[in-house]
Amino acid sequence: MNTLIAANVEDYRLLAKRRLPKFLFEYIDGGSFSETTLRNNCADLQTIGLRQRVLRDISNINTETELFGQHLKLPIILGPVGIAGLNARRGEVLAAQAAQEKGVPFCLSTVSACSIEEVRSQTQEPLWFQLYMIKDRGFLNAMLDRAVEAGTKTLMFTVDMPVPSSRYRDIRSGLSGGSMLRRQSARIMQSLMSPRWAWDVGICGRPHSLGNVAHVLGKGAGIDEFWSWMSKNFDASVTWKTLEQIREKWKGDLIIKGILDPEDALEAKKLGADGLIVSNHGGRQLDGALSSIRALPPIADAVQGDIKILLDSGIRTGLDIVRAIALGADAVVIGRAWVYGLAAQKKQGVSNVLDILGNELRVAMALAGCPSLKDITPEILVK
As annotated, the active-site residues are 281
Cα 67 from Cα 337, distance rounded (Å)? 21
CB 312 within 8 A of CB 335: yes
CA R_g for the chain = 20
The DSSP element (H or E) to which 334 belongs, if any, is strand 331-334
Residues 6 or more apart whose Cβ sits within 8 Å of residue 221: 210, 214
Taking every pair of C-alpha atoms in the chain, what is the biggest distance, in angstroms? 65
SS3 200: helix
70-72 and 65-67 beta bridge pairing: antiparallel
What does the alpha-carbon distance between residue 265 and residue 261 come to, in Å, rounded to a whole number? 6
Q: Which residues contact 381 (CB under 8 A, 6 or more apart)?
A: 48, 49, 50, 51, 323, 326, 327
CA distances from 83 to 186, 218, 281 (A): 18, 17, 15
Q: How many helices (H) and strands (E) does the chain have?
A: 16, 10
For residue 50, give the amino acid letter.
L
CA 212: distance to chain centroid? 17
